[in-house]
């Protein structure tokens, strides 16, 4: 298992390998003459012989000689000599990355009002290397738009990133859920884990199981997942199946447990918007936007949804109160493309909450949320602000 443990690498499913190789052929000039060599971890503690299939400048695709496994490795997890070898072998890739970084516009957005801790997102990216969402100041972007323009790759599908992020945050509401699921499998077997106990227990096990399946898909540990499931289906002994299912749970939990506890989690939500004809009499730019707004709703995952409870209510503005000169300036800037409404939020107090109303009866994932910024920005460049509201002025009067 040296090739698997080396660099904490992530397997590429065989069905995706031909596509991945085709993409690498386009971005790497020397793929056809790749050679086997000894690769060393950045700490110098592990070595393995592998053939390099290519790199995008962040991830390196290696085929290990020991077991034939093809895996992705972070560039920074390799020793300095290996990194230098890759930079020389794939000069064009690194040169294009450098050129793109130089061309990227400098951040024009104001930072969140509070100091951000993006450690959680950095750790999540380390564990799941194919997670590459659109980021602003180290904070991922989600929303009700299927895609947003991106100058280099064409488009970002932020709805896909939203599903991944929601699953992670649902996990935060009960970080012991997989340990409970594993223990239940070991104690009661595979079927017994879901068919015994109180209704609330069965509901929790069902949620944890569907969440586990979703995280396996997004983490790209599909080879491992398939092996676990194949072994489980290969026996009629339900207790044995329970033990095998528990191993599957423990494998994923071992990766997720590396993410440190978080008290506050920053997030950016965007949704479509437009401005109607300027009202000269009232000096007002009417705003049209989708009715959904994060601080009063949910974040949709695959296994379930994360319910959001606002720490303070606020009113979505109906327009921009600006004079005619400012309105002309805004209209001119909008000639560069469509606009979106950007909401900067902070999530905290991840928990499970009991709901008694008919539409949401039961124990569900929940988090508190507060709005820290609201702006209109260009869809093709989320750093370019068109207009920023004062969040304090958007808050509703305190209810008595």
Q: What's the confidence (pLDDT) of residue 398?
A: 53
- Is 272 in contact with 144 (CB distance < 8 Å)? yes
Q: What's the confidence (pLDDT) of residue 297?
A: 72
Q: What's the confidence (pLDDT) of residue 258?
A: 81
Which of these CATH numbers, 2.60.40.10, 2.60.40.3080, 2.30.30.700, 3.20.20.70, describes 2-102?
Answer: 2.30.30.700
Q: What's the confidence (pLDDT) of residue 112?
A: 47
In order along its 400 residues, the chain shows pLDDT tens digits of 334 344 545 544 433 444 444 444 444 444 445 578 999 988 888 899 998 888 888 888 888 888 887 777 878 889 999 999 998 888 888 888 777 666 554 444 444 444 556 778 877 877 776 677 788 888 888 887 767 766 555 566 677 778 888 888 888 888 899 999 999 999 999 999 988 888 888 888 888 898 888 888 777 677 788 888 888 888 899 999 999 999 999 999 988 888 887 788 999 988 888 899 999 999 999 998 865 555 457 787 777 888 888 888 777 888 899 999 999 999 988 887 788 899 999 999 999 887 665 455 667 889 999 889 999 998 888 888 899 999 888 876 554 3
Range(s) within the chain of domains with CATH label 2.30.30.700: 2-102
319-321 vs 339-355, strand pairing mode: unpaired
């Amino acid at each position: 298992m040296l090739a698997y443990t080396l660099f904490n690498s992530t397997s590429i499913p065989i069905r995706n390998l031909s596509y991945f190789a085709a993409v690498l052929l386009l971005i790497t000039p020397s793929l056809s003459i790749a050679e086997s060599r000894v690769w060393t971890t950045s700490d110098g503690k592990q070595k393995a012989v592998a053939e390099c299939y290519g790199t995008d400048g962040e991830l390196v695709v290696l085929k290990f000689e020991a077991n034939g496994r093809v895996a992705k490795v972070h560039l920074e997890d390799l020793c300095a000599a290996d990194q230098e070898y890759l930079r020389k072998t794939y000069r064009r890739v690194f040169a294009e990355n450098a050129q793109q970084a130089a061309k990227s516009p400098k951040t024009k957005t104001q930072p969140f009002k509070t100091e951000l801790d993006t450690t959680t997102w950095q750790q999540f990216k380390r564990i799941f290397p194919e997670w590459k969402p659109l980021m602003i100041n180290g904070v991922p972007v989600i929303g009700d738009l299927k895609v947003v323009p991106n100058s280099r790759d064409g488009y970002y599908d932020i709805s896909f990133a939203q599903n991944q992020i929601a699953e992670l945050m649902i996990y935060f509401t009960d970080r012991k859920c997989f340990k409970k699921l594993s223990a239940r499998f070991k104690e009661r077997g595979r079927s017994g884990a879901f068919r015994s106990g109180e209704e609330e227990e069965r509901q929790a096990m069902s949620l944890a199981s569907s969440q586990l399946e979703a995280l396996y898909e997004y983490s790209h540990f599909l080879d491992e997942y398939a092996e676990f499931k194949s072994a489980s289906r290969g026996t009629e002994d339900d207790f044995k199946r329970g033990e095998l299912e528990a191993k599957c749970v423990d494998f994923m939990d071992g990766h997720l447990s590396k993410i440190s506890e978080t008290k506050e989690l920053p997030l950016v939500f965007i949704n479509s918007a437009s401005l109607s004809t300027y009202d000269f009499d009232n000096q007002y730019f009417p705003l049209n936007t989708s009715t959904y707004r994060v601080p009063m709703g949910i974040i949709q995952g695959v296994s379930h949804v994360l319910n959001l409870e606002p720490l303070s209510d606020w009113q979505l503005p109906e327009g921009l109160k600006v004079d005619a000169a400012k309105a002309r300036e805004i209209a001119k800037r909008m000639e560069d493309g469509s606009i979106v409404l950007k909401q900067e939020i902070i999530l905290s107090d991840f928990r499970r909450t009991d709901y008694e109303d008919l539409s949401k009866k039961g124990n569900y994932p929940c988090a508190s949320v507060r709005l820290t910024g609201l702006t209109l920005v260009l869809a093709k460049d989320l750093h370019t602000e068109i207009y920023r509201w004062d969040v304090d002025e958007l808050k509703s009067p305190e209810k008595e």
